[in-house]
Amino acid sequence: MSETQVIGKTPQKAEEHPMAKILRMDRIPHIWCSTCGIGTALTSFATALEKVNIPLDHICVVSGIGCSGRIAGYVKLDSFHSTHGRALPFATGLKLGNPKLKVVVISGDGDIAGIGGNHLIHSARRNMDLVVLCINNFVYAMTGGQTAATTPLTAITSTSPYGNYERPFNLPHLAASCGAVYVARWTCLHVRRLAKSIEEAINKKGFSFIEIIAPCSTIYARRNRLGDGLDLMKFYHDNAIIKHGADTRELDIGYQDKIIVGKFVDIERPTFLDSLNAWNKKVLGEKFREYGGPND
Amino acid sequence: MTEIRISGFGGQGVIRMGYIIGKAASIYDNKFATLTQSFGPEARGSSCSAQVVVSEDQVLYPYITIPNILVAMSQEGYSRFESNLSEDGMLLIDEDLVKPNPPRGRIKIYSIPSARISEELGNKIIANIVMFGFFTVITGLITEEAARKAVANSVPQRLMDLNLKAFERGYKYGKEFLAKQEKSVNV
Amino acid sequence: MKANPKNVLTGAHYLDGDHACSEGALAAGCNFVAGYPITPSTEVVERMTERFPTIGGIFIQMEDELASMAAVVGAAWSGAKAMTVTSGPGFSLMMENIGLAAMMEAPCVIINVQRGGPSTGLPTLPGQADMMQVRWGSHGDYEIIALSPNSPQECFEFTIKAFNLSEKYRVPTFVMSDECVGHMTEKVIIPPADQIELEPRRYTTLSPAEYLPFKPEKDLVPQIIKAGDGYKIHITGLTHDEKGYPVMNWQTQEKLVRRLVDKIRLNQDKIVEFEEENTGDAEVILLSYGISSRVAIPAIQKARKEGIKVGVLRLIVVWPFPEKRIYQLAKKIKAFVVPEMNYGQIVLEVERSAKGQAEVYLVPHGGGWVHDPEDIYKAIKEAVR
């Protein structure tokens, strides 16, 4: 990414980086490999933040552990890097502690759908008012490329050296069937559409889930001999099919197969807090006292 | 120090009766009272029991050891716990639901048709309060005033009258029971 | 800072220990509880669900205890006074995120109504076998504070104390109750709100430009902010510098972890709390905590009647451990007698603190019931023989 050069070259008075409002420039350079898709996802998130109508002070980022989990450390927002798999419950507490906050969970597939899978299904079921950006690179990348709950069948990983035989999750279908009100999938090639989708998700109330298919050329692609970063982008270009409103049952990702992307679900349903407040108001009437946050 | 066990089956208000005894003694009579109860599957199923220790001083050991009073509201509650009752203890039973053996040692048996009385009052869930009224008179462990306050402050507002009525019936039955006993002794 | 009258159920109540914990939490201003049902602790959250809607507070039943503890840390960082409640297996599941709370210095309270273990053990019967787990259960080096009540009245009071200590030292603080105390019903006096002193959260007065989230004050505890206040902080479970940024080297580790440990160790004289009785001329001291300290009293009374000089050291705060006082006393007495419902946990700390100056006798109990006072009496006799 280019910000490395900007900082390095002229320490005294650099021209401001276009993403400086969103990024902690004092933490750059970042840890991601070149051609990694996580930076692209972060750029799309930053682009979306410029457009949403929520003050940046009220937007928080929570992540778990893994390559994608490091995003929390680079965004200039109140940001929390929690434990492996627990970004969603941490975010749930953060949101309920102060309902005025907009909380965005950004983490990887291993974190959100593997170790944290139980929290994913329950957060969706409750329609917790959270945005989840799940960056899926098909492996546990930070630990060296082990099989994940998302690894396509037959793909080679460090723990399936002869090819993966475990059926992976279809994440949009999982999120949708558990009750998410906004579900989309994009690849790191679709930066503008992804940014637009993130913007919609942030503006939406309820549990929004966006799967971001991201290249991992250092580990996943190398082990499967899929070429370098550019090859992976070319693969997305040739194989991603935009199909808004597609039946989520048909969104499985096969090894080096077509990837259906688009916005699949966009519905309305009361959030956890809406339901809690409405029901208690109905049952307790005047006696009900709505929790308004820490200054309440 | 007095140790009390109340036994019966689930839904009879056994634990609630223990709670009311403890509340009357500790909150309104200013004594010390510690209530413990059976938990787990047995507490939700057929039989259950509540234990209260009432004392003038702070209760240190929270469980009962050899109870002075056993209130049995079911046959099973009686057969399970009778052998543990102190030899000079008091045994309070629902006379329709418990058929006791001849008493052991100096144990005295006091019986009341608490379930039948509660049915007469139109609601069998208050048998425990009838029993509590009876208990108040028979044991003399708590004052009448404390007992009434404990009932009034332990039941939902809408059921208060009914519960107080149940208490009165049990209380009256107890008074009559004692009077009858005295008479028979005098004869 | 005084308690808010709307939260305080002033008066005399007949409550079980679990419900008394709930009232203590409410009096302390708790407004967020995340939990998962587990016997014998569930009554605490049941009462919170009944009371929160008319007071203003949020309860969420999470999908498991990992989630409950993670949610508590999150809520603490958005400014809530957060608590979770559990027992046995649930406590084990919370361990990783208890470490997160320690690392993120999130003020929060965890109530553990101990039951018999290991594994599923005795869900409906008491134990005191999590006393080392509470101290050392999460990986890595850190310190915590733990209190142990022996009556419903103390469940109320110690829960308030726990909230206050967690705010003051920004550390997860534990109320180590047990099934016997949790399920025992007794009179609980709840004082008026203006008699309940609360420790305010240590919010910073510095501007976002000046503020460093992990720069300690004199007592080694940093000032805090809450999410949404515009400070744009980064908080991580990774080893971090004063700015909160991850730094992977031994120097940063040394500085951070040393402080996490020292903020409790160097303040321990202010945190440690115990009751001491007749230790002046004691030959033997009965040292205990929680329910065991209560059932020991009849044994002490009996021994004293026989002329044995028995002193009492009863721990209110179990962690940090009152090692200095125990050493002082060890030099003057013959022995400590330590009844606890496990096969030797706190007794090890007593041995360590006594440094060989006094004998130390454990009166173990595997849990499932409380000690027979007679067994404690026999141990006292043995200790003075």
Taking only the tens place, the pLDDT of each residue in A206-257 is 999 999 999 999 999 999 999 999 999 999 999 999 999 999 999 999 999 9
B63 Cβ under 8 Å from any chain C Cβ: yes
Q: What is the CATH number of the domain that holds B26?
A: 3.40.920.10
pLDDT value of residue B40: 55
Amino acid occupying residue C26: L
Using a CB-CB distance cutoff of 8 angstroms, which residues of chain C are in contact with residue B35?
14, 16, 184-186
A107, A9: one domain: no
Identity of the residue in C13, C16, C124 whose CB atom sits nearest the CB atom of B40:
C124
Contact C278, C312 (CB under 8 A): yes
Q: C142, C174, C195 — which closes off a domain?
A: C195
| Residue whose token pair is 């009844």 | C339
Report residue B108 as tokens.
């005295």
- Quote the CA–CA distance of A37 and B172 in Å, as a whole number: 83
Q: In the complex, which subunits touch A with 3 or more CB pairs below 8 angstroms?
A: C
Residue C313: domain span: 274-384
Average pLDDT, chain B: 94
Using a CB-CB distance cutoff of 8 angstroms, which residues of chain C are in contact with residue B146?
none
| The pLDDT of residue A2 is above 50 | no
Residue A158: domain span: 33-287
Q: What are phi and psi of C310, to 5 degrees?
A: -110, 125
Using a CB-CB distance cutoff of 8 angstroms, which residues of chain C are in contact with residue B22?
14, 185-186
A25, A131: one domain: no
CA C355 to the chain's CA centroid: 25
pLDDT value of residue A14: 61
pLDDT value of residue A12: 57
C185, C291: one domain: no
The parts of chain C modelled with pLDDT lower than 70 are none
For residues A62-74, give the mean pLDDT: 96
Contact A226, A252 (CB under 8 A): no
Using a CB-CB distance cutoff of 8 angstroms, which residues of chain C are in contact with residue B31?
none
C-alpha dist (Å) from residue B15 to B41, B49, C86, C185: 15, 7, 24, 11
Using a CB-CB distance cutoff of 8 angstroms, which residues of chain C are in contact with residue B26?
14, 186-187
pLDDT value of residue A13: 61
B138 Cβ under 8 Å from any chain C Cβ: no
- CA dihedral (C29, C35, C38, C41) in degrees, to 10, reads -10
pLDDT band at residue B11 under the 50/70/90 scheme: confident
Q: C134, C164, C195 — which closes off a domain?
A: C195
C-alpha dist (Å) from residue C229 to A295, C30, C272: 11, 21, 34
Q: Which helix (H) or strand (E) holds C234?
A: strand C234-236
Residue C187 burial (10 A CB sphere; 0-12, 13-18, 19+): buried
Q: Is C117 helix (H, G, I), strand (E, B) or coil?
A: coil
Closest chain C CA to residue B42: C124
Q: Is A82 helix (H, G, I), strand (E, B) or coil?
A: coil
- Quote the CA–CA distance of C340 and C364 in Å, as a whole number: 6
- Quote the CA–CA distance of A95 and A209 in Å, as a whole number: 16
ipTM of the complex: 0.97
Contact C38, C88 (CB under 8 A): yes
A100, A243: one domain: yes
Q: Is position A294 within any domain?
A: no
Contact B130, B112 (CB under 8 A): yes
Identity of the residue in B26, B35, B40 whose CB atom sits nearest the CB atom of C123:
B40
Q: C195, C214, C236 — which closes off a domain?
A: C195
| Residue whose token pair is 């420039």 | A25
Using a CB-CB distance cutoff of 8 angstroms, which residues of chain B are in contact with residue C295?
60-62
Contact B32, B96 (CB under 8 A): no
- Quote the CA–CA distance of B169 and C352 in Å, as a whole number: 63
pLDDT band at residue A146 under the 50/70/90 scheme: very high
Using a CB-CB distance cutoff of 8 angstroms, which residues of chain B are in contact with residue C39?
39-40
For residues A41-57, give the mean pLDDT: 96
- Quote the CA–CA distance of C127 and C131 in Å, as a whole number: 10
Q: What are phi and psi of B174, to 5 degrees?
A: -65, -45
pLDDT value of residue A18: 86
A26, A108: one domain: no
Identity of the residue in C40, C185, C373 whose CB atom sits nearest the CB atom of B61:
C373
A9, A131: one domain: no
Q: In the complex, which subunits touch C with 3 or more CB pairs below 8 angstroms?
A: A, B
Q: What is the pLDDT of residues B23-72, one digit of tens each?
A: 999 999 999 999 999 765 555 556 789 999 999 999 999 999 999 999 99
Q: What are phi and psi of A172, to 5 degrees?
A: -60, -35
Q: Is position A179 within any domain?
A: yes
Edge-to-edge strand list for the sheet holding A59-63:
A240-242, A259-266, A182-187, A208-213, A130-136, A102-108, A59-63, A78-81, C234-236
The whole model's pTM is what? 0.96
Q: What is the CATH number of the domain that holds A279?
A: 3.40.50.970
C191, C278: one domain: no
Identity of the residue in C185, C295, C297 whose CB atom sits nearest the CB atom of B35:
C185
C-alpha dist (Å) from residue C100 to A80, A97, C235: 11, 17, 10
Q: What are the DSSP E strand ranges found in chain A?
A: 59-63, 78-81, 102-108, 130-136, 139-140, 146-147, 182-187, 208-213, 240-242, 259-266
- Quote the CA–CA distance of B73 and B49 in Å, as a whole number: 10
**Chain A interface mutation, best of C4, C229, C236, highest count of A Cβ atoms under 10 Å:** C236
Q: How far is A273 from chain C (nearest CA, A)?
A: 9
A129, A62: one domain: yes
Q: How far is A280 from chain C (nearest CA, A)?
A: 7
Are residues C63 and A96, on separate chains, in Cβ contact within 8 Å?
no
> How, if at all, do strands B2-9 and B47-55 pair?
antiparallel
| The pLDDT of residue A9 is above 80 | no
Are residues B59 and C186, on separate chains, in Cβ contact within 8 Å?
yes
Contacts of residue C298, Cβ cutoff 8 Å, sequence gap at least 6: B60, B61, C373, C377
- Quote the CA–CA distance of C66 and C63 in Å, as a whole number: 8
Q: Residues of C numbered 170-229 whose beta carbons fall under 8 angstroms of chain B's beta carbons: which are they?
A: 179-180, 183-187
| The pLDDT of residue B129 is above 80 | yes
Are residues A280 and C97, on separate chains, in Cβ contact within 8 Å?
no
How many structural domains comprise chain A?
2
pLDDT value of residue A1: 43
- Quote the CA–CA distance of A77 and C239 in Å, as a whole number: 20
pLDDT value of residue A76: 97
Residue B66: domain span: 2-186
A142, A20: one domain: no
> Which 8-state DSSP code applies to residue B16?
H
A77, A6: one domain: no
| Residue whose token pair is 């101990």 | C114
pLDDT value of residue A3: 46
By mean pLDDT, which of A23-32, A112-121, C187-196, C370-379 is the weakest? A23-32
A1, A45: one domain: no
> How, if at all, do strands A182-187 and A259-266 pair?
antiparallel
C13, C144: one domain: yes
A148, A190: one domain: yes
Contact B7, B18 (CB under 8 A): no
Q: How many beta-carbon pairs below 8 A join chains A and C? A: 168
pLDDT band at residue A4 under the 50/70/90 scheme: very low
Closest chain C CA to residue B34: C186
- Quote the CA–CA distance of C250 and A258 in Å, as a whole number: 47
A53, A1: one domain: no
C82 Cβ under 8 Å from any chain A Cβ: yes
pLDDT value of residue A117: 98
Using a CB-CB distance cutoff of 8 angstroms, which residues of chain C are in contact with residue B61?
294-295, 298, 370, 373
pLDDT band at residue A17 under the 50/70/90 scheme: confident
Contact B47, B98 (CB under 8 A): no
Amino acid occupying residue B53: V
Radius of gyration in angstroms for the set of CA atoms belonging to chain B, rounded to a whole number? 15
Contacts of residue B83, Cβ cutoff 8 Å, sequence gap at least 6: none
A266, A163: one domain: yes
Identity of the residue in C56, C78, C246 whose CB atom sits nearest the CB atom of A94:
C78
Dihedral over Cα of C100, C102, C103, C104: its sign: positive
pLDDT value of residue A16: 84
Q: Which residues of B139-150 are buried (b: 16+ CB within 10 A; e: fewer)?
A: bebbeeebbbbb
For residues A95-124, give the mean pLDDT: 98
Are residues C186 and B34, on separate chains, in Cβ contact within 8 Å?
yes
**Chain B interface mutation, best of C151, C154, C184, highest count of B Cβ atoms under 10 Å:** C184
Are residues B22 and C13, on separate chains, in Cβ contact within 8 Å?
no
How many structural domains comprise chain C?
2
C80, C190: one domain: yes
User: Could you please report the per-residue DSSP string of C178-230?
Assistant: EHHHHT-EEEEEE--GGG-B-PPP-B--S-TTT--TT-B-TTSPBPB--TTSS
